[in-house]
Amino acid sequence: MGNFSDKIKIVYLTFVIFFALGVLAYLLDTWGVINMEEYVPFLEEESPLVAEDADEPGLLEWERLEKEQIRIEEERIKLEEERLKLEETLAAIKAKEEELATRERGVSEERQQIAENKAAEFQRAEMIRNMATRMTNMPPQDAVAIMAGFSNTDLVDVLLQMEANAVQAGQQSIVPFLMTLLPRERAALLGTLMMDEEARRLPRTDIGEADSIQNDVATDGEPAAIEDGTGDANANP
The tens digit of pLDDT for each residue in 138-147 reads 898 988 898 8
Domain boundary among 128, 146, 161: 128
Q: State which residues form the domain around 107.
A: 66-128
User: 52 in a domain, yes or no?
Assistant: no
Same domain, yes or no: 142 and 197: yes
Residue 139 is predicted with a pLDDT of: 92
User: 61 in a domain, yes or no?
Assistant: no
Same domain, yes or no: 81 and 115: yes
Same domain, yes or no: 158 and 72: no
**Mean pLDDT confidence for 191-204:** 79
Tell how far CA 93 is from the center of its chain: 9
**pLDDT over 80 at 89, yes or no:** yes
**Mean pLDDT confidence for 183-209:** 76
User: 179 in a domain, yes or no?
Assistant: yes
**pLDDT over 90 at 103, yes or no:** yes
> What global pTM score does this model have?
0.43
Domain boundary among 108, 128, 148: 128
Number of domains the chain contains: 2
Same domain, yes or no: 149 and 220: yes
Residue 18 is predicted with a pLDDT of: 81
Same domain, yes or no: 108 and 154: no
Among 149, 171, 175, which Cα is nearest to 162's? 175
Same domain, yes or no: 122 and 152: no
Same domain, yes or no: 218 and 198: yes
Distance between CA atoms of 137 and 123, rounded to whole angstroms? Answer: 21
User: 21 in a domain, yes or no?
Assistant: no
**pLDDT over 50 at 232, yes or no:** no
**pLDDT over 80 at 221, yes or no:** no
User: 8 in a domain, yes or no?
Assistant: no
Q: Which residues of the chain form beta strands (DSSP E)?
A: none
User: 191 in a domain, yes or no?
Assistant: yes
Same domain, yes or no: 108 and 151: no
**118-130 pLDDT per residue, tens:** 999 899 889 999 9
Q: What percent of the chain has pLDDT over 70?
A: 73
**Mean pLDDT confidence for 101-118:** 92
Same domain, yes or no: 71 and 124: yes
Alpha helices per DSSP H over 138-221: 140-147, 152-169, 175-181, 184-201, 207-220
**Mean pLDDT confidence for 65-92:** 93
> Is residue 23 a contact partner of residue 17, using CB atoms and an 8 Å limit?
no
Same domain, yes or no: 112 and 172: no
Same domain, yes or no: 146 and 217: yes
User: 164 in a domain, yes or no?
Assistant: yes
**168-193 pLDDT per residue, tens:** 989 898 999 988 888 889 889 988 99
Same domain, yes or no: 112 and 193: no
